[in-house]
Structure 1
Amino acid sequence: MKEYKTIHFIGIGGISMSALAQIMLDRGAKISGSDITKSNITDLLEKKGAEIFIGHKENNLKDVDLVVYTSAIGEDNPEYMKASANNIPLMERAVFLGKLMDDYYKSTAIAGTHGKTTTTGMLANIMMNTEIDPTILLGGEYQAMEGNIRLGKKNYFLTEACEYKKNFLNFNPYIGVILNIEEDHLDYFKDIDEIKEAFREFAGKVPSYGFLVSNADDENQKNLYDGLDCNIKTFGIKNNAYAKAVDVKFNPYPSYDLYIEKEKICHVKLKVPGLHNIYNSLAAATCAYISGVANCSIKNGLENFNGTKRRFEYKGNYKSRIIIDDYAHHPTEIKATLDTVSTLTEGNVLVVFQPHTYSRTEKLLDKFAKSFSSAKKVVLIDIYAAREKNDGRVSSKDLVAELKKNQVDAVYMESFEKAAEYLMKNSESKDIIMTMGAGDVYKVGDIITNS
């Protein structure tokens, strides 16, 4: 990427775009970018030397070598249109990230339907305290990194790899990780078979001298990688695996003996709850081990990891109720999180859920309706549209109706304020109130904690 000296980012305030901009600033490139609103992220970029524009206008685009944009940017964007009309090279974010990764001798890309940010955070926490000195791009904020980007000085790059629109096929990682495979992004993929084929293609991007790290307990990955010529290392709990968790206990947080190649490496006590986080930690440990990290560093990195922002994040208290925010927005994630949190309290679990995208809500409605059985009460607020437009085919009220069919006490509230008021009135001491979703539902928790 050294050929690009001046780069403009359309949507520079996004969590991934801002990180890419910071990496290029560190390399000495001249950076400009635009976003709809001013934020802490745009302020930080401005302090680091980027020229920031609020709002998308063709005048924002000056003398640049390259324009980087996200898949959320349409071809009618004025900056995109000007770049196209003036033959300025345009590059989608994932393509840019893939080319950036090629500058590093060893790169690791963490893929999977669930757990990407947490697993990347776990591996980051292991690697940051070693001589590997990685550059890390995280899909969420992590306190130990003071954000979502860490700039290393050596040849190791760590990032998440999203399957949406097959974006991860732009990557050629030395280590490719596939945590799990399930139905999701059904506005793009036809069905689970097409999703599995996309992950198979991603696995095929790992070179013969590289490593594919896969989940031995995931039925959707069984025999999926037959015929690949890279080194395949598996992790799991139930089945035989290269890295295995043995003697698993929950007290209430998970602990286990970590075995690699049938040899006990260490005993691990996690600070993040749930069976799903054992799998995430096994994937991180596998990557670290094949990268040559010492056993004690793997143990310390996993045990000192206390989560990333918006992943089971403690937000505060309200009259002896605990407020937790979680990014879960897929039925499997929701069920796993609620089943886990129900074991951590003497009281009840109350949830306010904001569905993410109309297509996901519509196509997974039946599965969503069966994911909240561990909650005493569920409050639904309006669907977070993200990249989509409301065609009127599905609403949060439809999910309320389906939840009630499954004997879940569910209600719809038309605003954050009313949802917060309902939860405060209908909860008791020792209850846990959870805000769940990938949109801005966390604001409900902010209203409660500030009351």
Structure 2
Amino acid sequence: MMQNPQPIEAYMLPGKRVHLVGIGGVSMCPLAEVLRGMGLSVSGSDIRESDAVQRLRSLGVHVDIGHSAENLGNCDFVIRTAAVHDNNPEISGAVTRGIPVYERAQALGAIMRRYPNALCISGTHGKTTTTSMCTHIFMAAETDPTVMIGGTLPLLHSAYRVGKGDTIILESCEYCNSFLSFFPTVAVILNVESDHLDFFKDLADIERSFRRFAQLVPENGHIIANADNDGAMAALKDLGRPVFTFGLERTAHCTAQALEETADGLRFDVTVYGKPYAHVTLPLHGRHNVLNALAAASSAYILGLPGSAVERGLAGFTGAGRRFERKGVFNGADVYDDYAHHPDELHALLTMAKALPYRRVVLAFQPHTYSRTAKLFDRFVEELKLADVTVLAEIYAARETNTSGISSNDLCRQIPGSVYCSTLEQVTERLRAIAQPGDLILTVGAGDIYRAGEALLRG
């Protein structure tokens, strides 16, 4: 890879032409929109058509399907997603022509340096929900934040917004150490677990990455972490600077009191240093969402927002897109969709779902990447058994090729009563055949499994 002679900030100017490789990705799509909003001319490419690609085209962004050096056109610089490698024809073509190539994380880092407050939400899971909760709170406080989320937020009708305030709220991903290119003034660590083992060596390697992320925070900044999570605490052990903690089980600076779960959601009091801060009514379920809300409330407290903003913001938060998102009703069964793709996320989702007043939980799950499925195989089997009925779609490849020969059918053999479907069409037909009144049907995974549920609802 070529060494770029100038920092990316030199190119992120109105009138410059930028090409995004992998533009349809959950973080690249909002980046494209933000760059367009900054006055740059934006183009891009992706390997397949998607809703994100269609949205960008509707905004006037030219998107090619498939990768070719010709797609670069007369661009001034290139931004690539972490999933795009050096042998990609557009990357190699840019290098040959001397066009600077930057990582997505470098672009995000350059954007956040413009803001006095850069609130970066990290963690193995829960990032999108917590970033969305923070957005609701900061919008309720009328701080006019800039926001970049890895999923659509109904409040914004988008995955991003460009505000004029002094705060940027950014979902911050650890994959390929992307967040180490960021400039957080407030770093939130929700949890640190084994994941992305196609890049990280092991859990200790992941913990080192999160520690380095925390160390990016300047001395006058803040680190916020989940006291209940062993990985987060291990990553920050003996850091040599204060860490503001939140949690439910262990002693923490911010916690929940008088926690009550009702049919309509959660109610609890947020206390900080033992003093009342906010009374939260949250129209969501599950312990994991209490922790997400505490992380968001901690962020608001650290940045000086009143508890009333937390109350108003969370009262109106019904979830981010693809986070236990209600899609409709089929044959008397409620159909929901969720992005969960890690065993911990599955556990939180299914435990919450089983506590709801449904006759059965019917799970249609699409594993995400061969490496994650292989390395966390036993844990996936354990969590998938929690559903009353499990339908397994084939593994979503994403950025990988199947070098290990693994299949969702291997999971199916270990889960009594489960069914394997090689195509999404088969998943839809199976759901159509088994759906009964009183069921909760979940389409779950980080790929395109949501299409099976949408096809079911179309009849």
1:150 aligns with 2:195: no
Instruction: Give the corresponding residue for 1:246.
Output: 257
Q: Please, which runs of 5 or more residues in structure 2 have no aligned partner?
A: 1-8
Instruction: Give the corresponding residue for 1:361.
Output: 373
Instruction: Give the corresponding residue for 1:303.
Output: 315
Instruction: Give the corresponding residue for 1:11.
Output: 22
Instruction: Give the corresponding residue for 1:27.
Output: 38
Cα pair 2:331 2:435 within 8 Å, conserved: no
Work out the CA distance in 2 between the residues paired with 1:392 and 1:35.
Answer: 25
- Tell me which moved more, 80-89 or 9-18: 9-18
Cα pair 2:122 2:187 within 8 Å, conserved: yes
Work out the CA distance in 1 between the residues paired with 2:445 and 2:372.
Answer: 12
Instruction: Give the corresponding residue for 1:441.
Output: 449
1:421 aligns with 2:396: no
Aligned residue runs from structure 1 range 263-302, under 5 A = 263-302=275-314
Instruction: Give 3-state SS (helix, strand or coil) of 1:15's partner.
Output: coil
Q: By how many angstroms is 1:129 displaced?
A: 2.6
Aligned residue runs from structure 1 range 83-102, under 5 A = 83-102=94-113
Work out the CA distance in 1 between the residues paired with 2:348 and 2:365.
Answer: 15
Deviation string for 1:132-182 (max 9, x for gaps)? 211100000011111101011123111111111111111120000100111
Deviation string for 1:314-354 (max 9, x for gaps)? 11101111111111111111111111111212311111111
Cα pair 1:210 1:230 within 8 Å, conserved: no
Work out the CA distance in 2 between the residues paired with 1:132 and 1:59.
Answer: 43
Q: By how many angstroms is 1:223 displaced?
A: 5.0
Cα pair 1:211 1:230 within 8 Å, conserved: no
Q: Please, which runs of 5 or more residues in structure 1 have no aligned partner?
A: none
| Distance change in 2, residues 1:183/1:320 (3 Å) | same
Cα pair 2:121 2:131 within 8 Å, conserved: yes
Give the RMSD, CA atoms, in angstroms.
1.8
TM superposition score normalised by structure 2: 0.93
Cα pair 1:216 1:236 within 8 Å, conserved: yes
Work out the CA distance in 2 between the residues paired with 1:354 and 1:38.
Answer: 19
Aligned residue runs from structure 1 range 250-265, under 5 A = 250-252=261-263, 253-265=265-277
Q: By how many angstroms is 1:77 displaced?
A: 2.6
1:401 aligns with 2:391: no
Work out the CA distance in 1 between the residues paired with 2:277 and 2:442.
Answer: 36
Work out the CA distance in 2 between the residues paired with 1:296 and 1:57.
Answer: 52
Cα pair 1:25 1:49 within 8 Å, conserved: no
Instruction: Give the corresponding residue for 2:80.
Output: 69
Cα pair 1:321 1:432 within 8 Å, conserved: yes
| Distance change in 2, residues 1:224/1:52 (3 Å) | closer
Letter in 1 for 2:455: I
Instruction: Give 3-state SS (helix, strand or coil) of 1:333's partner.
Output: helix
Instruction: Give the corresponding residue for 2:135.
Output: 124
1:199 aligns with 2:213: no
Instruction: Give 3-state SS (helix, strand or coil) of 1:297's partner.
Output: helix
Cα pair 2:390 2:418 within 8 Å, conserved: yes
Letter in 2 for 1:79: E
1:79 aligns with 2:90: yes
Work out the CA distance in 2 between the residues paired with 1:364 and 1:226.
Answer: 26
Instruction: Give 3-state SS (helix, strand or coil) of 2:355's partner.
Output: coil
Work out the CA distance in 2 between the residues paired with 1:223 and 1:445.
Answer: 39
1:385 aligns with 2:393: no
Deviation string for 1:195-245 (max 9, x for gaps)? 111111111111111111100111223353244355421001112211101
Q: By how many angstroms is 1:21 displaced?
A: 2.1
Work out the CA distance in 2 between the residues paired with 1:439 and 1:31.
Answer: 25
Cα pair 1:216 1:240 within 8 Å, conserved: yes
Work out the CA distance in 2 between the residues paired with 1:192 and 1:25.
Answer: 38
Which consecutive aligned stretches of 4+ in structure 1 deviate over 6 angstroms post-superposition?
none
Cα pair 1:345 1:432 within 8 Å, conserved: no
- Tell me which moved more, 188-197 or 320-329: 188-197
| Distance change in 2, residues 1:306/1:450 (3 Å) | same
Letter in 2 for 1:264: P
Q: By how many angstroms is 1:103 displaced?
A: 2.1
Work out the CA distance in 1 between the residues paired with 2:27 and 2:234.
Answer: 33
| Distance change in 2, residues 1:426/1:21 (3 Å) | closer
Instruction: Give the corresponding residue for 1:430.
Output: 438
Letter in 1 for 2:256: A
- Tell me which moved more, 33-42 or 164-173: 33-42
Aligned residue-pair number: 447
Letter in 2 for 1:248: L
1:335 aligns with 2:347: yes
TM superposition score normalised by structure 1: 0.94
| Distance change in 2, residues 1:434/1:231 (3 Å) | same
Letter in 2 for 1:395: S
Cα pair 1:10 1:34 within 8 Å, conserved: yes
Candidates 358, 378, 384, aligned match of 1:346: 358
Work out the CA distance in 2 between the residues paired with 1:244 and 1:15.
Answer: 31
Instruction: Give the corresponding residue for 2:5.
Output: none
Cα pair 1:257 1:268 within 8 Å, conserved: yes
| Distance change in 2, residues 1:242/1:62 (3 Å) | same
Letter in 2 for 1:74: H
Deviation string for 1:296-317 (max 9, x for gaps)? 1111101110001111011110
Instruction: Give the corresponding residue for 2:248.
Output: 237
